[in-house]
Structure 1
Amino acid sequence: MEMVVQFLCARYPRLFTYSARTGRFWNGVRRLSFDTRRLEPLRFLLENVPEDFAVMLEDKATGHYHLRAGVVLSAIGWNMGTKMGKALHEIHTPVPDYTKIGGSVDRYFANVACDKPIQRGSWGLEVGQPLYLQPGDAEWATRAAQDPALRLADVHLRVDWQTLRRLPRSRAVVFNFKALFTPLEDLRREPRVPRLLATVLREGPPAILEYKGTHHTLHVALPALDAWAEEQEEKGRVPRGWKARTLDENPFYPGWEQGLESKCYS
């Protein structure tokens, strides 16, 4: 809560203010005041920021990190009730091949530094913009079949932008994320991306693609991505016959240096 207050007031000083004398935080977006000395910290996060938070604490006896607290409102296929108290390897049981990397992930968590937060993105294709969806929900059943009436305009790329950050006093690792949706049609303007995504959807490990739950969108997404990839080659936006592959350095892409120069001098 303290870190969020510091960030909001420094980044958006016209919208958020904090009084060290009274402990009150003013949210100019919602036009509400909050007493940070009385309000439970997770409740404060729930009321003031759109990101989700999960607090992982180390078990000193085993060295494993366990989920001990959090506020999560934008999960697909899981919820806090099914994960609370579990260790990382237990939380990630549904993830294919996680057992191969579980030990290294635990060591990675142990070495996260307070001043070096880590960011990554987790992606999938969705119909509409489902923020919170659980097995048993009526909409969940639609993910098992391909709707012939599905429109391209209804398919979105969902990316959960995730951050891992060490808290300085408790030494807990906070895992926080925010879901962002992009209409699939927007990728038409992104050089190389349509062919790259189509290649991943066709050639990616079947277990991973099944875990991501992309099947219900493929009959609409793949033909569109193929058409856009061909269009980009015909218009000379990408070299014809280039091999779709991820880049050696992320998140860079071909031509990023020119884009940086144009931004610096514009």
Structure 2
Amino acid sequence: MIEGVDGQYYLKAGAIPLPGFWRLEDKFNMPLAEIHTSGNVAQFREKLQQGMERFFQKMMPEQAVVRYNYSIQTDGELAWSSSIGSEDTFGFGRKDARPNPSIENIHFRSERQALRRLPRSGAILFTIRTYFLPIIDIAQEPGVPGRLASALRSWPDEIVRHKGRKAYENVLLKYLDEKHAEQCANGLELNNSNTYPF
């Protein structure tokens, strides 16, 4: 991202080997705000835009910033989620995924996102490390099924739409609830601070 004469940051270079749900060619040369609004990021204008723009302007080269996100994907394809359509189909997103996939096809997708200002150019480098795990694997970890089900149920309506929960919620929540009940029946201690989930 490079600052333009108008003070906004524009996407001017990139390599996106694991986009999942978006294409670089659709976002190239867009300012930061438009990247997020064109992707229908929930609550961006109301809650995130001003703070994010100020944050970009104040970033210093000595200080990297790291954050994590998570979503659910309804197929096992890391590079591009084919359950939403082909990569050549512009405008599709998680909300368009084929409904009610088998539990074996549902994956937990998380990104470690790091931002750093480059000292010479002043550009902001945005790197993403994607973690992609089958739900049936992470649901074996103590406490994870109950915590994940609780997190998914806590999403406000805007996030539910943005993350396409309607496509997988019936299958996934039923499975997580069953696994949570099994863990509790087998002696899971919900307040045990020694249990660190997956």
TM-score by shorter chain over 0.5: yes
Task: Look up the equivalent residue of 2:43 and give its one-letter code.
Answer: D
Task: Kindly state the Cα deviation for residue 72 of structure 1 after the two structures are TM-superposed.
Answer: 1.3
Alpha-carbon distance in 2 for matches of 1:78, 1:152: 24
Instruction: From the superposition, tell whether residues 236 and 117 of structure 1 become closer, same or farther in structure 2 (CA, over 3 Å).
Output: same
Task: Kindly state the Cα deviation for residue 178 of structure 1 after the two structures are TM-superposed.
Answer: 2.5
Q: Residues 188-237 of structure 1: CA distance to partner in whole angstroms, max 9, x if unpaired? A: 23333212221222231121122112332222211111112222222332
Partner of 1:92, secondary structure, is: helix
**Structure 2, unaligned stretches of length 5 or more?**
none
Report what 1:137 is aligned to: 86
Aligned partner (choices 66, 86, 91) of residue 30 of structure 2: 86
Alpha-carbon distance in 2 for matches of 1:75, 1:151: 23
Q: Is 1:192 the equivalent of 2:160?
A: no
Q: Residues 18-38 of structure 1: CA distance to partner in whole angstroms, max 9, x if unpaired? A: xxxxxxxxxxxxxxxxxxxxx
Contact 2:78 2:132 in 1 (8 A): no
The 5 Å alignment of 1:101-250 reads 101-126=48-73, 127-133=75-81, 137=86, 143-147=96-100, 150-239=101-190
Instruction: From the superposition, tell whether residues 72 and 144 of structure 1 become closer, same or farther in structure 2 (CA, over 3 Å).
Output: closer
TM-score (norm 2): 0.81
**Structure 1, unaligned stretches of length 5 or more?**
1-55, 243-252, 260-266
Instruction: From the superposition, tell whether residues 235 and 130 of structure 1 become closer, same or farther in structure 2 (CA, over 3 Å).
Output: same
Q: Is 1:96 the equivalent of 2:45?
A: no
Report what 1:47 is aligned to: none
Alpha-carbon distance in 2 for matches of 1:223, 1:179: 26
Q: Residues 6-61 of structure 1: CA distance to partner in whole angstroms, max 9, x if unpaired? A: xxxxxxxxxxxxxxxxxxxxxxxxxxxxxxxxxxxxxxxxxxxxxxxxxx0112x4
Instruction: From the superposition, tell whether residues 198 and 163 of structure 1 become closer, same or farther in structure 2 (CA, over 3 Å).
Output: same
Instruction: From the superposition, tell whether residues 82 and 111 of structure 1 become closer, same or farther in structure 2 (CA, over 3 Å).
Output: same
Report what 1:58 is aligned to: 3
Alpha-carbon distance in 2 for matches of 1:136, 1:198: 27
Task: Kindly state the Cα deviation for residue 173 of structure 1 after the two structures are TM-superposed.
Answer: 0.6
Contact 2:42 2:159 in 1 (8 A): yes
Q: Residues 131-186 of structure 1: CA distance to partner in whole angstroms, max 9, x if unpaired? A: 12476518979944424xx4322211111221111111111111111222111012
Alpha-carbon distance in 2 for matches of 1:133, 1:66: 26
Alpha-carbon distance in 1 for matches of 2:2, 2:80: 25
Alpha-carbon distance in 2 for matches of 1:193, 1:136: 30
Larger radius of gyration: 1
Alpha-carbon distance in 1 for matches of 2:155, 2:128: 24
TM-score (norm 1): 0.62
Structure with a larger share of its residues in strand? 1
Instruction: From the superposition, tell whether residues 121 and 141 of structure 1 become closer, same or farther in structure 2 (CA, over 3 Å).
Output: closer
Instruction: From the superposition, tell whether residues 144 and 189 of structure 1 become closer, same or farther in structure 2 (CA, over 3 Å).
Output: closer
Partner of 1:69, secondary structure, is: coil
Partner of 2:170, secondary structure, is: helix
Instruction: From the superposition, tell whether residues 111 and 156 of structure 1 become closer, same or farther in structure 2 (CA, over 3 Å).
Output: same
Higher RCO, Cα 8 Å, sep 6+: 2
Report what 2:20 is aligned to: 76
Alpha-carbon distance in 2 for matches of 1:116, 1:157: 29
